[in-house]
């Protein structure tokens, strides 16, 4: 059912949150746009101007790696200053209240962790862009060190342990989904009684399968997104409004 207006949507959401004992939020780009993080997939977004670099190309080509890192460092000012928005803070409030065991996110911006949710309770389906990993051995690297090397030498160094390339800790196109995160997200979706999809257009699979999975396992499903999604007709409540305005009333509860 689509909420007739923002106020009635917030009221119904409040009732559903009060009645639920285990709430699993699932977040997409829409929760972070008010924090200044662009939606890469939106019309006019970065990916319509800059073709994403697939994983196999990153591995095969030194030029592709340099381009990927050049783009990432160009975004650093945006990521470095971004602070959690009202949506993040509302979810952190529900987490502190013991209502939310963990958050599943498609975002790579680290803002759920910054809002106070323990890293272990943020299930990142597409990884995290605020640090880097060796694609061979998994050794982690801080971005500021890599950025200094990039500025000095024109390229990010290879892994100091195993000599394989270092990449942001994100999941690129063509890269395998993180197994443990997928497993934990599956368990959360199957065992919650309220699943809230927030700011996701629900078109990127397999991530988009989790709302349906939760619904099929008996949870109530809420979809909060500015635009319609393909799963609106199976949701118990659809709120087509701004994420910050919709979740703002739940900050600090
Ligand atoms: Zn390595």
- State in Å: Cα 137 to ligand 1 middle: 4
pLDDT in tens, 37-64: 988 766 556 666 678 899 999 999 999 9
116: helix, coil or strand?
Answer: coil
Active site residues: 126
- State in Å: Cα 91 to ligand 1 middle: 35
Q: Report the sign of the C-alpha dihedral through residues 234, 240, 246, 247, in that order.
A: positive
- State in Å: Cα 164 to ligand 1 middle: 5
> CA–CA separation, 36 vs 19, rounded Å?
33
> CA–CA separation, 194 vs 78, rounded Å?
33
What number of residues does the chain have?
253
- State in Å: Cα 161 to ligand 1 middle: 5
| Residue 49 · residue 216 · CB < 8 Å | no
pTM of the model: 0.95
| Residue 211 · residue 231 · CB < 8 Å | yes
pLDDT in tens, 98-148: 999 999 999 999 999 999 999 999 999 999 999 999 999 999 999 999 999
186-190 average pLDDT score:
98
- State in Å: Cα 133 to ligand 1 middle: 8
pLDDT in tens, 127-138: 999 999 999 999
pLDDT value of residue 43: 57
């Amino acid at each position: 059912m689509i909420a007739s207006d923002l106020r009635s949507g917030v009221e119904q959401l409040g009732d559903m949150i009060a009645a639920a004992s285990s709430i699993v939020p699932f977040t997409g780009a829409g929760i972070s746009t008010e924090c200044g993080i662009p939606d890469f997939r939106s019309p006019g977004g970065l990916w319509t101007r800059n073709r994403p670099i697939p994983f196999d190309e990153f591995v095969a080509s030194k030029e592709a790696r340099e381009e990927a890192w050049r783009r990432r460092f160009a975004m650093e000012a945006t990521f470095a200053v971004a602070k959690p928005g009202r949506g993040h803070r509302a979810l952190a409030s529900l987490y502190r209240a013991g209502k939310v065991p963990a958050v599943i996110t498609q975002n790579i911006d680290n803002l759920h962790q910054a809002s106070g949710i323990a890293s272990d309770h943020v299930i990142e389906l597409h990884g995290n862009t605020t640090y880097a990993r060796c694609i061979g051995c998994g050794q982690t690297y801080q971005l500021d060190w890599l950025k200094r090397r990039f500025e000095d030498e024109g390229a990010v160094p290879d892994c100091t342990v195993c000599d394989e390339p270092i990449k942001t800790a994100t999941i690129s196109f063509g890269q395998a989904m993180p197994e443990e995160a997928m497993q934990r997200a599956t368990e959360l979706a199957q065992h919650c009684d309220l699943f809230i999809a927030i700011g996701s257009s629900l078109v990127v699979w397999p991530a988009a399968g989790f709302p349906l999975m939760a619904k099929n396992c008996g949870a109530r499903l809420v979809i909060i997104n500015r635009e319609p999604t393909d799963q609106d007709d199976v949701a118990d409540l659809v709120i087509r409004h701004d994420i910050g305005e919709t979740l703002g009333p739940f900050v600090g509860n």
